[in-house]
């Protein structure tokens, strides 16, 4: 048997410090996914139940058009396949408002559908009715623009929640 003066180096087996961090990150991601699956429907139910409702049973939102405050109602019919209509009302009576100069341009959010353009309809005192029909048992999110003479004066996305408990107003309340 021969011996050598050279030392034999035994490599230290280092555990990767990245593996526990990756594992913890995956656990947190999995927990967040499960929590969103469980709590998102409850959050939507809460928002639906507490959403302010207008006289036509639609959700009410405050919007600002060229510096003037308005209430926008996304009206919903109770028919099996309702057609959307939008109703803008100035908050202050002294606000100059010529609705015939405006149009509502909208579509369902996150779709490739073309935008639908609604003109003022004096019969309903609002903008509508839409060509597309919507099922009243579903909630919808609309991308909406208010245009005046072809120029956008307001845009945003808004929920149109189904009515809770039937009838105009459901359990929601106006603020």
Domain range enclosing 85: 59-160
Q: Read off the tokens for 150.
A: 């072809």
Specify if 8 maps to a domain: no
Specify if 36 maps to a domain: yes
> What's the CA gap between 102 and 147, in Å, rounded?
5
CATH of the domain at 130: 2.60.40
Specify if 170 maps to a domain: no
Q: Bridge partners of 140?
A: 160
The tally of domains found in the chain comes to 2
pTM of the model: 0.75
pLDDT tens string, the chain, 175 residues long: the values are 566 677 777 776 666 667 888 889 999 999 999 988 999 999 999 999 999 999 988 999 999 998 999 999 999 877 778 899 999 999 999 999 999 999 999 999 999 989 999 999 999 999 999 999 998 889 999 999 999 999 999 999 999 998 876 544 444 444 3
Same domain, 27 and 107: no
Angstrom CA distances, 69 to 64, 94, 97, 129, stand at 4, 11, 11, 24
Specify if 35 maps to a domain: yes
């Amino acid at each position: 048997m021969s011996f050598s003066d050279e030392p034999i180096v035994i490599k230290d087996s280092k555990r990767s410090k990245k593996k526990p961090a990756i594992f913890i990150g995956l656990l947190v991601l999995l927990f967040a996914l499960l929590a969103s699956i469980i709590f998102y429907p409850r959050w939507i139910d809460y928002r639906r139940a507490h959403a302010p409702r207008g006289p036509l049973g639609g959700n009410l939102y405050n919007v600002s058009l060229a510096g003037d405050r308005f209430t926008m109602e996304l009206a919903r019919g109770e028919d099996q396949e309702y057609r959307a209509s939008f109703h803008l009302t100035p908050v202050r009576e002294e606000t100059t408002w010529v609705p015939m100069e405006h149009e509502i341009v909208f579509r369902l959010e996150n779709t490739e559908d073309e935008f639908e353009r609604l003109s003022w309809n004096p019969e309903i005192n609002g903008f509508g009715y839409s060509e597309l029909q919507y099922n009243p048992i579903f909630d919808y999110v609309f991308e909406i623009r208010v245009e005046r003479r072809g120029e956008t004066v307001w845009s945003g996305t808004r929920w149109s929640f189904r009515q809770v408990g039937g009838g105009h107003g459901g359990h929601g309340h106006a603020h």
